[in-house]
Structure 1
Amino acid sequence: MKRSLSFFARRSSLLVATGAVVALGGCSSSAPLFLSDGRATTLVQCPVGSDSCSQQATASCNGGYDVVRQSSESGTLSLIYACRAAAK
């Protein structure tokens, strides 16, 4: 059975496209990170020198949060925080 070159090119393109979708799907479905006490963490990024990161964390947590890790690189502050448990 004789197949044309375009048949193999289309099939090859389909395999590459399918592989790309599978690979990208793995990136977007990563599990959230949790602290040992079960609280979920959140990453926010903002310009260094701005209080935008702390404002976002405060708004998200209704005021109370703990800084898990903070770093800055190339003018961007990265803040990983966890909301404090609500008082009972």
Structure 2
Amino acid sequence: GQWYISDFGFCGPADKHLRSIYGNLPYIAPEVINGKEYTFKSDIYSIGMLMWEISSGQQPFTYYVHDYDLVIKIMNGMRPQIIQGTLTEYKNLMV
């Protein structure tokens, strides 16, 4: 079978202001949460979180309330732990 990737809720209005924040908290890069513009690096962070979800079988930060406390933890460097048994090559792409 074939797999298709579609909108995960990362998108916002086509005419959105570059400093506006759209998306799901676990996938938004810390610098964007902090009010900086989206960049290529921000997209790489989001892709890394999606890769983590694929390798773990669950959404990042599933056991946390998606609130201000989680925002602060993410901005201070908290990331989901890479699952044991994840291939080294895959890990290297995520980090």
Shorter-chain TM-score: which interval?
under 0.3
User: Normalized per residue, which structure has more strand?
Assistant: 1
- In the superposition, the TM-score normalised over structure 2's length comes to 0.21
